[in-house]
Amino acid sequence: MKSKARKLAFKRVAAVVNPAAGNAGPEAAAEVERILAEHGTPGVVSTPGDEGLVACLRAALNTRPDLLVIVAGDGTARAAAEMVGPKGPLLAPLPGGTMNMLPHALYGARDWKTALADSLSDGVEKTVSGGEVEGHAFYVAAILGSPALWAEAREAARMGDLARALGRARGALRRAFSGRLRFSLGGRPRGKTQALALMCPLVSSTMADDDGFLEVAAIDPAGALDIFRLGFHAALGDWRADPTVMVTRVKAGRAWASGPIPAVLDGEPTQLGPVVDFRFRPVAFRALVPRPTEADA
């Protein structure tokens, strides 16, 4: 991801705001309009109606903006990045949701208003790489395997459906050690594991932006004691040193199981088929971000 130093100006901005997202709120659309106006940037702000968020995104892109601003959750941010692609307009996926995995990777601890204002004041273009698993894009990280089932319980709890959350949690606990993934990474010997974590250069602490690989961690705890130790190492920031974790770098790989594979892509749970291929994508989309400072280094 190489940041370009030229000053950016925009002729046409489209913004899509989901007021129902966790950190957006009912005044978010008006706030986006205010910030755009303060920076002398013409823009049209849309909120989803009965047509839904995806249709709202398509309508915004049909206006041919040179910048698309998103204030919404992780799923909308990932969908917008996929729709924009490497040849589309610049994208500013702001932290309007709950987890904000992609926005946090791009904007750090800034809230969405500060991130937008800083990007418009002195923004630069950043080319973002990513990954793909069975046609599904991700830009931060993906988890494949039974531990991903916990994300479904988390989502149900976030929506206030406690009965469903409890059921999902029980199901995740039952399946936690019941099935293992088989995997093959870039021609290396095949292996078995509980889960694979695929991390993009955007968040990997061991890869430079232009290394051209996904970092893959095979996580294989055998029981509660291993999970406790892994959590301890993670809390200390050195989870790669845990003996239940094997880490490598690949451009492509494959995973398979006896049934559908649960997954989490940039914080969003989904279910994939029993055989999945994944690969590194060197250019996924172009983001508008604040100019890096010494504090960001």
Token duo for residue 26:
């009912």
Averages of pLDDT over runs of 10 residues in the chain (297 residues) are: 60 93 89 94 89 92 96 92 95 90 91 95 93 92 72 50 47 53 85 85 69 81 47 44 70 92 83 93 94 67
Encoded amino acid at 128, one letter: V
Residues pairing with 285 in the sheet: 128
Please answer whether residues 68 and 15 qualify as being in contact, where contact means their C-beta atoms are separated by less than 8 angstroms: yes
Q: Locate the DSSP E strands across 207-274.
A: 214-219, 245-250, 252-256, 261-265, 268-272
- Report pLDDT for 224: 45
Q: Could you give the residue range(s) of every CATH 3.40.50.10330 domain in the chain?
A: 13-130+286-296
C-alpha span between 288 and 137 (Å, rounded) = 19
- Report pLDDT for 103: 92
Question: What digits encode the pLDDT tens for the residues 63-121?
Answer: 999 999 999 988 899 999 999 999 999 999 999 988 888 999 899 999 999 999 999 99
Instruction: Pick the closest to residue 248 from 284, 219, 281 (CA basis).
Output: 219
Q: Which fold has domain 13-130+286-296?
A: Rossmann fold (3.40.50)
Q: Could you give the residue range(s) of every CATH 2.60.200.40 domain in the chain?
A: 136-281
Instruction: Pick the closest to residue 238 from 199, 205, 194, 203 (CA basis).
Output: 205
Q: Which residues lie closer than 8 Å to 20 by C-beta, 6 or more apart?
A: none
Placement of tokens 């790989």 in the chain? 253
- Report pLDDT for 151: 53
CATH number of 136-281: 2.60.200.40
Question: What digits encode the pLDDT tens for the residues 146-170?
Answer: 765 555 545 544 444 445 544 444 4
